[in-house]
Amino acid sequence: MDLKIFYNIHYEMPLGIPIALYFYLTGLSAGSFVISVISTIGGRKEYKPIGRIGAVLAPLLLILAPFTLIVDLEQPPRFWHLFLYLNLKSPITYGSFLLTAYPINGLIYAWYLFKGNARLAKILGLIGIPLAICTHGYTGFILALGKGRILWSTALMPTLFIVSAMVSGMALVILAAAIRYAYRYQYTPVEERESDRALILNLGKMMGGMIIADLFLVGNDILVLLTSTQEALHVAHLILFGKFQPFFVGIEILLGGFLPMFMVFLPWTGRSLRGVVVAAVLVMIGVLAMRYVVVVAGQFLPLH
């Protein structure tokens, strides 16, 4: 039967690229913080540089992240309402406290780490891990509670966000460690050079493992969407075959998922520093595409 929409009002997308960018920045921060604490607590001497790199990157990124949120507000000068009029049911309220507590804790942690106070750094790091995971997990809840949007309202969303945060955080730490390696190449003795190199390659393997977990979750999500409601089928087609195919299938899944996973695990690229660095760059682009697809494709379907 012929069916045409004759008149309907223009459809507006409330959340845009600043929000996707915000999710990306918090993800990078949470991921690099967790890597930093794991390598600090692990206690092995050769892991120390990773701990320091993560400790610097995490609070830096998280000081930038809230600005994207405040810029996105229609009334930026009213942002303090978030701390005064609390709605304890809203995930954004949790966010405003987590976004305050987590960078402060991260800065103190970094301070003690660089001062060499290992015991305090460990304690603060242990406090920081749940904070970091919550800071990124709550962004998943923001989307999951968006009841009308079929791509968002899944219980998988917070887990998916945390896992992709780990992936992108590891990629960022790998990049920073590789830059440090190249910069200090002339001044370091051969043994230290070797251990730094082995460390980056090991991180690459860990990243590969997280990519597998990430792809598994995305696959589950898509399979359920394909067999769920009419809207779910539409959104699955939209990202698999429709307008978002280049971003989702092309960049997020193939270029930012499968390709770096194979690069890290295959001996030819996995044992070369260049291969792992290229894989890390691809992963960072892939996760950025993932944030974009989730936020924008999630709001692409009409609701009326």
Partner 1 sequence: MSKEKLQEKPEKKAEAKVHYGMVIDLRRCIGCHSCSVACKAELESPPGVYRSWVKIIEKGTYPHVRKFFLPSLCNNCDNPICLTNCPVKATWKREDGIVVVDPHRCIGCKYCMASCPYDVRSINPLKRIVQKCEFCRHRVDAGIEPACVETCLGRARIFGNMLDPKSEITQLLATLPTQVIKPDLGTYPQVFYIEADLDAMNPMKGWKGDE
CB nearer to partner 1: pick between 90 and 195 = 90
- Taking the complex as a whole, how short is the minimal distance between the CB of residue 129 and partner 1, in angstroms? 25
- Taking the complex as a whole, how short is the minimal distance between the CB of residue 45 and partner 1, in angstroms? 45
For residue 258, the SS3 value is helix
CB 177 within 8 A of CB 195: no
CB nearer to partner 1: pick between 136 and 149 = 149
- Taking the complex as a whole, how short is the minimal distance between the CB of residue 104 and partner 1, in angstroms? 20
Secondary structure in 3-state letters for 43-101: CCHHHHHHHHHHHHHHHHHHHHHHHHHHHHCCCHHHCCHHHHCCCCCCHHHHHHHHHHH
- Taking the complex as a whole, how short is the minimal distance between the CB of residue 152 and partner 1, in angstroms? 8
Distances (CA, A) of 2 to 5, 231, 249: 10, 20, 32
CB nearer to partner 1: pick between 4 and 45 = 4
Please report, as ranges, the residues that interact with partner 1 according to CB under 8 A: 1-12, 14-15, 69, 72-75, 78-79, 81-82, 84-87, 89-93, 95-96, 142, 145-149, 230-231, 234, 237-238, 242-243, 299-304
CB 265 within 8 A of CB 208: yes
Locus of tokens 């405003």: 96
Q: Roughly how many angstroms between the first and final C-alpha of the chain, as a whole number?
A: 20
Give the separation between CA 163 and CA 230, rounded to whole angstroms. Answer: 28
CB nearer to partner 1: pick between 21 and 177 = 21
- Taking the complex as a whole, how short is the minimal distance between the CB of residue 4 and partner 1, in angstroms? 5
CB nearer to partner 1: pick between 19 and 121 = 19
